[in-house]
Amino acid sequence: MEGKGGFTLIELMVVIFIVGILASLAVPLMRGRIDAAKWSAGRAIMGTIATGLRAHITEERGSFTAVPTLAQMGFAASDLNGTYFTGGESGVGNFSWVINDDDPIDFLITATAPAEISTPYQMTLDQAGNWTETAKKPAEEPVEKPWWWWWW
């Protein structure tokens, strides 16, 4: 009598278990790559803002505005909008900027991640092209509950 060809229930369960372990390892890695791809759009917008700040400083040598408007940098209102990040005046959307000095040029651009991006929380770009990441959102102070809070 010949045995039928096929897999036993144990063999199938082992294969499903291995696939489950591999999937649980791969999902967090892919999530990080997705966030990095979304941040690349934010970095591109920050580079555009840096170009506008340099142009504003050069054109207004000595009498620049510390926080120039989009119009002063040569942008329209929607020029800084991307798929995940929103522009607008400094501090209105996901971006803010400030010029500290013009000799030598000194500015700082900050981008805050939108809700759909988990990490990093913020990214900054300075005049020298240095990128700095802030990994986590600042923790909020916990509210102390009175000893009787469970009663209510």
In this structure, what token pair is assigned to residue 38? 């979304």
User: What are the DSSP calls for the chain, one per residue?
Assistant: -PPPPS--HHHHHHHHHHHHHHHHHHHHHHHHHHHHHHHHHHHHHHHHHHHHHHHHHHHTTTS--SS--HHHHT--TTTT--SS----STTTSSEEEEEEEETTEEEEEEEE--TT--S-SEEEEETT--EEEE-SPPPPPPPPPPTTGGG-
Which of 117, 110, 49 shows the shortest CA–CA distance to 80?
49
- Domain locations along the chain: 11-136
Kindly report whether the peptide bond that precedes residue 120 is cis, defined as omega within 30 degrees of 0: yes
Predicted confidence (pLDDT) per residue in 53-91, tens digit: 999 998 988 788 899 999 999 999 889 998 999 988 999
Which residue in 96, 94, 132, 101 sits closest to 116, CA to CA? 94
What does pLDDT average to over the chain?
86
Q: What is the pLDDT of residue 131?
A: 94
Instruction: Give pLDDT tens digits for 106-137.
Output: 999 999 999 888 888 999 999 999 999 998 76
| pTM for the structure as a whole | 0.72
Confirm if 35 and 119 have CB atoms less than 8 A apart. yes
User: d(Cα 67, Cα 98) in Å, to the nearest integer?
Assistant: 5
Choice among 1-5, 15-19, 75-79, 140-144 with the minimum mean pLDDT: 140-144
